[in-house]
Amino acid sequence: MESARILVAVSGGIAAYKVPELVRQLQRQGHDVRCVATPAALRFVSPLALQALTGETVRSALFDPSEEGEIDHIRLADWADLVIVAPATADLLAKMATGLADDLVTAVLLATRAQILVAPAMNVNMWTHSATQENLETLRSRGIQVIGPESGELACGWEGAGRMSDPVRIVAEADLSLGTDSLSGQTVLVTAGGTAEAIDAVRSITNRSSGKMGFAIAEQAARRGARVRLVAGVTALATPAGVERLDVESAREMREAVMAELPTSTIVIKAAAVADFTPENVESQKIKKEGLEDQSALMLRLVTTPDILREVCDNKGDRIVVGFAAESQNVVEAAREKIRRKGCDLLVANDISRDDAGFDVDTNAVLMVTPDGGVEETALLSKREIAGQVLDRVEKIMRERLG
Ligand code: CTP
């Protein structure tokens, strides 16, 4: 990991007491850290502590001539490679969402062109309030990364979501955002999302895949310097920065796109939830109830779709191919059987019976299975962190091949 210039922006919540620990951990990773704080934040954490750690003045006022003289707020915004807002209060998130810049912290956040990570911390009712959630949606749609919050006992006495994530997690997310060049020169083909198999002019059969896992992999591969081609099925997600996207609907279209991209790809990661069956005939008009022989039932005959992963593996050459598996029972045995059957280099298995992993949640815990039957289990992590671990494993295979 290259050392980076990280600006930690602190807002006024009790979790501000964890900021010195965050600063220390970022410094241990070799980063150059500066802090800015709202006036309220300085009631929870001492500017002297932050100054002693960073060796720099902790700026808090926008129009203080002595502070502006030292480093003005625009230069501070330009200085940062990455900005971490920790803790991010409900008030600060609201100001960021509206673009207010009425103090030093918000002015820097509006002026910076660096990636911003926010680590919210607040009372559970403030967190779940639709105002806060709508603000977060706005921030996410602008590419701001949200870390946590975690659930547990809150300083206000309530139980629930609202604790700021641990500094270790914030540092791990910061490292993912900063990126490396470990995949430069590689072309990574990623599939993501579910397919939709048409029944008639208006209806289709699809599945509950959100595409989040595959999109996180595409995003992380781009951050590691790869050229990334993302074949996306049905999903509402925005294209990650630096990723080239091709939209498809059916399993057949996904197969065509993947096979067309295969010759120029060096790594293939198949996170899509491909339909195994598709209607044998697609009606060009909407099927009406009248006209059916039996008006109380409609018979659909489904036929199997092409197994794209299998076909990719049959034409693998020197490529590294990663498959995914959604399993609801005997996960390890099923994954070992699947990697043998498909012939890929790594199989990432999800246990879809868990509530906190798998479809349409932001967290995941997976098993990574290799052809020799080896199994590695991850903790419950954000999908970005899981994506990082899958790519670490791919890089390990690359190194092993080089001897
Ligand atoms: N896959 C594929 N083409 C298909 C079905 C699945 O390429 N027609 C890929 C998926 O993208 C995933 C892997 O195969 O990487 C495993 O998908 P999964 O649905 O778990 O396995 P199946 O092969 O469908 O086996 P089963 O449904 O019997 O578990």
- Per-residue pLDDT 10s for the chain (403 aa) are 578 999 999 999 999 999 999 999 999 999 999 999 999 999 999 999 999 999 999 999 998 888 887 788 999 999 999 999 999 999 999 999 999 999 999 999 999 999 999 999 999 999 999 999 999 999 998 989 999 999 999 888 889 999 999 999 999 999 989 988 999 999 999 999 999 999 999 999 999 999 999 999 999 999 999 999 999 999 999 899 889 999 999 999 999 999 999 999 999 999 999 999 999 999 999 999 888 888 889 999 999 999 999 999 999 999 999 999 989 899 999 999 999 999 999 999 998 888 777 677 888 899 999 999 999 999 999 999 999 999 999 999 999 999 8
Going by alpha carbons, the residue nearest to atom 9 of ligand 1 is: 309
**Does residue 286 contact residue 201 with C-beta atoms inside 8 Å?**
yes
Identify the residue whose tokens are 């498959």.
323
Instruction: Tell how far the Cα of 378 is from the centroid of ligand 1, in angstroms.
Output: 21
Does 215 sit in the ligand 1 pocket, CB within 6 Å?
no
Does 270 sit in the ligand 1 pocket, CB within 6 Å?
yes
Instruction: Tell how far the Cα of 344 is from the centroid of ligand 1, in angstroms.
Output: 12
Does 333 sit in the ligand 1 pocket, CB within 6 Å?
no
Instruction: Tell how far the Cα of 365 is from the centroid of ligand 1, in angstroms.
Output: 19
Reported as half-sphere exposure (CB side, CA atoms, 13 A), residue 180 has a value of 10
180's tokens: 């490396």
Q: What is the pLDDT of residue 1?
A: 58
Task: Please give the Cα distance from 301 to 280 (Å, whole number).
Answer: 6
Does 200 sit in the ligand 1 pocket, CB within 6 Å?
no
Q: What is the pLDDT of residue 360?
A: 72
Going by alpha carbons, the residue nearest to atom 14 of ligand 1 is: 309
**Does residue 74 contact residue 46 with C-beta atoms inside 8 Å?**
no
Q: Which of 254, 274, 344 to mutate to test ligand 1, by most ligand atoms within 8 A of the CB atom?
A: 274
Instruction: Tell how far the Cα of 201 is from the centroid of ligand 1, in angstroms.
Output: 26
Its pTM stands at 0.82
- Say whether 156 is catalytic: yes
Going by alpha carbons, the residue nearest to atom 27 of ligand 1 is: 276
Does 183 sit in the ligand 1 pocket, CB within 6 Å?
no
Q: What is the pLDDT of residue 262?
A: 98
Instruction: Tell how far the Cα of 319 is from the centroid of ligand 1, in angstroms.
Output: 19
402: Cβ contacts below 8 Å, ≥ 6 apart: none
Does 255 sit in the ligand 1 pocket, CB within 6 Å?
no
Going by alpha carbons, the residue nearest to atom 8 of ligand 1 is: 307
**Does residue 354 contact residue 365 with C-beta atoms inside 8 Å?**
yes
Please give the backbone phi and psi of residue 116, each rounded to the nearest 5 degrees, phi first.
-115, 130
Instruction: Tell how far the Cα of 227 is from the centroid of ligand 1, in angstroms.
Output: 25
Going by alpha carbons, the residue nearest to atom 24 of ligand 1 is: 276
Please give the backbone phi and psi of residue 28, each rounded to the nearest 5 degrees, phi first.
-65, -25
Choice among 35, 156, 313, 344 that is catalytic: 156
- Average confidence score pLDDT of the chain: 94
Report how far apart the first and last C-alpha atoms of the chain are (Å, whole number).
23
Instruction: Tell how far the Cα of 215 is from the centroid of ligand 1, in angstroms.
Output: 18
Does 325 sit in the ligand 1 pocket, CB within 6 Å?
yes
Instruction: Tell how far the Cα of 242 is from the centroid of ligand 1, in angstroms.
Output: 27
- Exposed (0-12), middle (13-18) or buried (19+): which is 239, by Cβ within 10 Å? middle
Q: What is the pLDDT of residue 358?
A: 67
Does 272 sit in the ligand 1 pocket, CB within 6 Å?
yes
Going by alpha carbons, the residue nearest to atom 17 of ligand 1 is: 325
Does 259 sit in the ligand 1 pocket, CB within 6 Å?
no
Q: What is the pLDDT of residues 179-205, one digit of tens each?
A: 889 999 999 999 999 999 999 999 999
Closest ligand 1 atom number to CA of residue 324? 15
